[in-house]
Amino acid sequence: MSVRTPYTIKGDTGDWELVMGLEVHAQVSSNAKLFSGAATAFGADPNCNVSLVDAAMPGMLPVLNRFCVEQAIRTGLGLKAQINHYSRFDRKNYFYPDLPQGYQISQFAHPIVGEGEIEVDVEPAHGGEAYSFTCRIERLHLEQDAGKSIHDMDPNSTYVDLNRSGVALMEIVSRPDVRTPAEAAAYVKKLRAIVIALGTCDGDMEKGNLRADVNVSVCKPGQYEKYRETGDFSHLGTRCEIKNMNSFRFIQQAIEYEARRQIEIIEAGGKVDQETRLFDPNKGETRSMRSKEDAHDYRYFPDPDLLPLEVEQAWIDEIRATLPELPDEKRARFESEYGLSRYDAGVLTADADKAAFFEAVAKGRDAKLAANWVTQELFGYLNKEGLELSESPVSAEDLGGLIALISDDTISGKIAKDVFGRMISGEGKPADIVEKHGLKQVTDTGAIEKVVDEIIAANPEQAEKVKEKPQTLGWFVGQVMKASGGKANPKAVNEILRAKLGV
């Protein structure tokens, strides 16, 4: 593990550094919405998952969904955060057609979860060694999602789909501890892994179930350290918030663009306006959505339809007792239990499915070998083909079977690659493939000796030479392997050759 080195952007007036804080909106995994009994299933016909409450019919009242609260607490515990025994729901007032109530119920002054932290693992995009840093979490609160406005179905009208209206979201706010575009992406990746492991959000970014707003500012080297010492934000630059990004790639592109834009403004003698911006992936640029002057006055006030939320310690303890193993804990276990490197353990535990797959492969087998095969051969293949693990043509059971064949010397590692290729093309189970194609390794020393004797006899000059130059032994190994059709056990071949040639 290497250490975190400053990330700088060269400007005309010298080096600049980045400071970022993220707000991640994660849809709570729950069958019902935050304040109504309506379903949350994705892909329903427009306006079919809408209750009277979600459509804000007259006289309708919100009733808090206990399960969503439990999910928020579980997430808070996963972020090693303070769970607040008292929290409250506020109304955030603004008019928009996809916001039927005319206000969003959120938690403004008193969130359910307070300060926490997560350990973020970073693989720098521009090379360099992997490292990790601690990102502080400021808060997590529960709020309602809005509906969806559809502007492109009709030239003159906007259609509104309220299926999402009232769906529970967790807004997770970080401190400004993120310093590079890669760190921002890694932070979201880690957060995603945690909520998936907890089962509190499915992490599906394509469906928008997890999306990030990034607050970006730039400053001169040394300023950030001053901020950390004093907590005084005036040491940092003016920030812009880039809204609603749902891909790791976009997050990094948007930050890089935005940082350069701000540096250009400042270096040209201008001032960065605090504003909300949108990233346009087609143009690769951010553009202004609304300035601070246009910002809504949301007129927050406590929602009088809801009582303050009081959470007892006993319930928190109960939830804590049911927490699953989290990515960091899992990685530590992979390191100690399977003897994996921190890097391999990190790769395998970044995703709960990958970790489970690996454990199925490794169970009762050579774990390091299993890790190599899973991360290099299988993930390499899947990456190349653009496939998800769930689409893998090779099951964990079969890959485990292949590793067992290597471990018990039935086949060599080289032959295994051939077998693996055949497994991918659907030829069946590894043992059957080995049987069918006669790939079993020859470990019968008598048979190998016979081949070795023949080759030594046919190449007396080489046999003399190897005694002076032992490194040419490889030539003999190659000849023997070739003669055996690759099936001879390389270890046995080596030993016999050495004995016969006196090397």
Partner 1 sequence: MTDLTKLTLADALDGLKAKKFSSREITQDFVQAIEASRVLNAYVVETPEKALEMADAADARLAKGEGGKLEGAPIGVKDLYCTKGVRTTACSNILGEFTPTYESTVTQNLWDEGAVMLGKLNMDEFAMGSSNETSRFGPPINPWRRNGDNAGLTPGGSSGGSAAAVSGDLCLAATASDTGGSIRQPAAFTGTVGIKPTYGRASRWGMVAFASSLDQAGPIAKTVEDSAILLDVMCSHDPKDSTSLKVDQPDWRADVSKGVKGMRIGIPKEYRMDGLSKEIDALWNQGIEWLKAAGAEIVDISLPHTKYALPAYYIVAPAEASSNLARYDGMRYGARVDGNNLTQTYEATRANGFGREVQRRLMIGTYVLSSGYYDAYYLRAQKVRTKILNDFVEAFESCDAILTPTCPSPAFAFGEKSGDPVEMYLNDVFTVTTNLAGLPGISVPAGLSADGLPLGLQVIGKVLDESACFRVGGELERAAGFVARPEKWW
Contact positions vs partner 1 (CB under 8 A): 52, 55-64, 91, 93, 95, 97, 100-103, 158, 160, 297, 299-301, 304-307
CB of 301 to partner 1, least distance (A): 6
CB of 370 to partner 1, least distance (A): 52
> For partner 1, which is the closer residue by CB, 151 or 271?
151
Q: Which of 103, 373 has the CB closer to partner 1?
A: 103
C-beta of 368: minimal distance to partner 1 in Å? 56
* β-pair partners for 276: 241, 290
Q: How far is the CB of 127 from partner 1 (least distance, A)?
A: 47
As to burial, measured by CB atoms within 10 angstroms (0-12 exposed, 13-18 middle, 19+ buried), residue 127 is exposed
The alpha-carbon radius of gyration of the chain (Å, integer) is 30
Q: What does each C-alpha distance from 145 to 38, 99, 270 come to in angstroms?
A: 13, 9, 37
**Which residue, 306 or 316, is less far from partner 1 as judged by CB?**
306
Closer of 156 and 313 to partner 1 (Cβ): 156
- The Cα–Cα gap between 327 and 191 comes to 10
Q: Closest distance between partner 1 and the C-beta of residue 52, in Å?
A: 6
β-pairing verdict for 275-280 and 240-245: parallel
Shortest Å, Cβ 296 to partner 1: 10
CA 138 to chain centre: 21
Q: Which is closer to partner 1, CB of 64 or CB of 125?
A: 64
Return the C-alpha torsion angle 115, 119, 123, 124, nearest 10: 40
Closer residue to partner 1 in complex, CB, 43/59: 59
Residue 398: strand, helix, or coil: helix
What region does 244 belong to: left with phi over 0, alpha with psi -120 to 50, or beta? left
Q: Are 254 and 243 in contact (CB under 8 A)?
A: no
Q: Return the number of the residue (249 or 296) whose C-beta is nearest partner 1.
A: 296
- Shortest approach of partner 1 to residue 85 CB, angstroms? 18
Whichever of 93 and 472 has its CB closer to partner 1, that residue is 93
DSSP 14-47: EEEEEEEEEEEEEE---SB-SSS--B--TTPPTT
Angle formed at CA 115 by CA 114 and CA 118, multiple of 5 degrees: 130
In the numeric block, the tokens 């201008």 are attached to 270
Element (H, E) at 10: strand 8-11
Least CB distance from residue 140 to partner 1, whole Å? 22
- The nearest distance, CB 214 to partner 1, in angstroms, is 25
Helix (H) or strand (E) holding 259: helix 248-267
Q: Are 187 and 22 in contact (CB under 8 A)?
A: yes
Q: 472-476: which pairs have CB atoms within 8 A and are 24 or more residues apart?
A: 473/497, 473/498, 473/501, 473/503, 476/452, 476/501
Q: Which is nearer to partner 1, 306 or 404 (CB)?
A: 306
Q: How far is the CB of 158 from partner 1 (least distance, A)?
A: 8
Give me the least distance between CB of 216 and partner 1, in Å please: 25
Contact present, 34 and 144 (Cβ < 8 Å): yes
Taking the complex as a whole, the smallest distance from the CB of residue 146 to partner 1 amounts, in Å, to 13
Residue 66 phi, psi dihedral angles, 5° rounding = -60, -35
CA atoms of 341 and 331, how far apart (whole Å): 10
Whether 426 and 393 have beta carbons less than 8 Å apart is answered as yes
User: Residue 305 or residue 495: which is nearer to partner 1 going by CB?
Assistant: 305
Here the tokens at position 35 are: 């304040």
**Based on CB atoms, which residue is closest to partner 1, 160 or 362?**
160
Residue with smaller CB distance to partner 1, 97 or 284: 97
Nearest to 466 by CA among 421, 441, 502: 502
The tokens 């807004």 sit on which residue? 171
- Shortest distance, position 56 Cβ to partner 1, whole Å: 4
- Which DSSP string do the residues of 87-128 spell out, in sequence order? E--EEEE---TT-TTSEEEE-SSS-SB--EEEEEEE--TTS-
In the bound state with partner 1, the residue whose beta carbon lies nearer, of 162 and 466, is 162
